[in-house]
Amino acid sequence: MIITIVLTSLMLTYDAVYGNYHSRNTTLHKYGPNVCAFEEVLSGNGAYMYRERSPQDNRQQQTCGRNTVLRYDCCEGFKSTNNGRSGCTGVKSPKNVLETAQELGAHTFVQYVQQNGLYDFFTKSGPYTLFVPTDEAFANMDSTLGAALESYESAPEILKYHVVPRRIVTYNASVDETFNTLHSGSKLRFNKYSTKIETINCVTLMRKNRIAQNGVVHLINTVLNPYSYTNRNLVQIINQNKELTIFSKMIEMSRMHQSLKETFQSLTVMVPTDIALQQLLPQSQLRRILNDESLSKAFVLKHLLPTPVCPSAVTADLYVKSLANKHYVKFGCDGINSITVQGHCIGNDLKFSANGILYQINFALSTEEGRSMLQIMQHLGLSEFVRIINIAGLTQTFENVNALTAFVPTNKAIKCMNTMELYHIQSDSSVARSFVNFHVGKELITAENIYDGKVVESLIRGKRLHLQCVQNEFGVEGRRLDFQTPVGYNGVVHVVDEVLYPPVVCVEDLVKGNNSFSLYTRAMNLLGVTPRTSFEFYGSQNTFFIPTDYAFEKLGDIELNRIFNNPSHLQKILNNHQVNRILPTKLFKERWQYEIQTKNEIVRIVNRGNKFTVNNAEIVETDIMTTNGLVHIVDDLIFPS
């Protein structure tokens, strides 16, 4: 079935309201006055879309991934005079609201009105605004509502729920408004969206603003159920629903129940059922949330949206920020008009309250609150490290001990370890314990409190972990660090791309134990500097670019002697090879040029894809971690400018 939807009215009054004089004149010139663009949308489950568009805009549009067809015709209330003039200059004679409804094809609604003795009531007084369902809407309504419409007691009230005792033209209504109806004080909720869709109780207005003698008529595609609206607030609805007791307790624990009773702001609340929460969250995690104010509040806030969101307003992927910090809820739809939230299908069984809309859902928008570090590791798929934790007998450490940060190697990193080393870890609990403990810091490290050079004590006494930051890339012990946003109730888990090892060799031992660095050692001795005793080499927050003997020898004997006989110049050269911070190469992005301050001057480090260079010197061996810093081996001297 093809449903035709009015897109844009070019009547003078419409343009005057929106000040779109240039658009109107252009349209009058091309199509004539009072011409509207109509979008035809293939019906799926009845969720038809309405979108305003300019008649001169003939681009292909889509609704939930499906193409729509655009055509042009006279706007509602106008007709062509066939006098040779373009456009629609004939004004139809206005009729009463029920006759107008019949012209729109709402015959079943009018029949119900006549059967229940309301015809004269709706035609001889006013003004009224009718939200009239299509005949198809009545044919597809649920059996309970259908049975109620066959009752002489309830039918009149249901029909009156579709009527507002005043004149409502949608472009004069606010984006979120409630209207009193003729049904015992019950209300309808009206909303406008950036997609140009307008809804009443989350039902799309298919045809709107049809002016009648005694009011206005809007055509909708669903029969409105007065029992879906209540004058109670959101908290009262949740508290009185026996399927939502867990979320109700979270609201109480979070101390948010009072604010959710306020009516000055309309909200969307997506409430997981008790069954959903019991299936999704382990009992221990659920208990932690229910017994902790901050965890309950964090969970509740992620299920609150600061504006009414209707399924029928979703025509493409839509991200709505929740009341929680940095948390967004994704709404989506597919080609058969099935609406999803975070990938889960939702129905149209909504509750409308005095201060918002309530969805009852069978999933949760977050499962992070109250999770332990061990649960986070399992969620991230870090099974190899979890296995070693179990071997080490440290399961309870990551379930109960507070304020820890675990830097967990990927499964691939652990599997790529030396075979014998991995065998000892997996067969000896004390070895496994040492391995795990060096990957854990004794404080919470997040993207908000990390800085370059930060040091944190590991769980091994006397062993510290050094953190690095280059632009927005992070590292620990010279290895690349992938920050994770979820924070467990007892700590944080971040992922590293390699296994961390406590350094066991200092720079002096590294240099003296390798004949390739004899000239570097000679230069240091000439200046009276030794890595073990000198202030320059004290501490562990250094990067050394150590040149090989080949780098020195390329200068030739004459130049080499000249340098070694000039201590001040030699000192500047050596200072150009040391940086008072740790600079792992994995934190340098490809093709970027980084200016780095050495002890002498600024040098430039470039990641060229297959090699790293410092000025013109190539780094031939990277990221050797020592007790007093990180070492890179270079094949040229880095001369002062």
**Which pLDDT tens digit goes with each residue over 577-615?**
999 999 999 999 999 999 999 999 999 999 998 899 999
pLDDT of residue 97: 95
Domain 373-496 matching CATH 2.70.70.10: the answer reads no
Identical fold between 97-228 and 373-496: yes
Q: Give tens-digit pLDDT for 52-91.
A: 555 555 565 666 766 677 777 787 778 888 776 778 888 8
Q: Residue ranges of the domains in the chain?
A: 26-91, 97-228, 234-361, 373-496, 507-634
Average pLDDT, the chain: 87
Q: Alpha-carbon distance 434 to 377, whole Å?
A: 19
Strands of the 2-8 sheet, one edge to the other: 2-8, 35-42, 69-74
Tokens 């632009």 -> residue: 471
| Cβ neighbour number for residue 547 with a 10 Å cutoff | 23
Contact between 604 and 596 (Cβ < 8 Å): yes
Contact between 75 and 91 (Cβ < 8 Å): no
pLDDT of residue 54: 54
pLDDT of residue 560: 93
Q: Which CATH fold would you assign to the domain 234-361?
A: FAS1 domain (2.30.180)
| Class of the CATH domain delimited by 507-634 | mainly beta
Which 3 state secondary structure label does DSSP give 155? helix
Residue 50 has pLDDT above 80, yes or no: no
Q: Domain 97-228 carries which CATH code?
A: 2.30.180.10
Query: Which comes out higher in pLDDT, residue 181 or 264?
Result: 181
Q: Alpha-carbon distance 534 to 484, whole Å?
A: 39
pTM: 0.75
Least confident range from 29-33, 119-123, 213-217, 509-513: namely: 29-33
pLDDT of residue 5: 39
Contact between 195 and 156 (Cβ < 8 Å): no
Query: Which comes out higher in pLDDT, residue 194 or 127?
Result: 127
Q: Give tens-digit pLDDT for 112-165.
A: 999 999 999 999 888 999 999 999 999 999 899 999 999 888 999 999 999 999
Residue 531 has pLDDT above 60, yes or no: no
Least confident range from 258-262, 353-357, 554-558, 563-567: namely: 258-262
Residue 378 has pLDDT above 50, yes or no: yes
Taking the CA atoms of 418, 423, 424 and 425 in sequence, report the sign of the dihedral they define. positive
Residue 48 has pLDDT above 60, yes or no: no
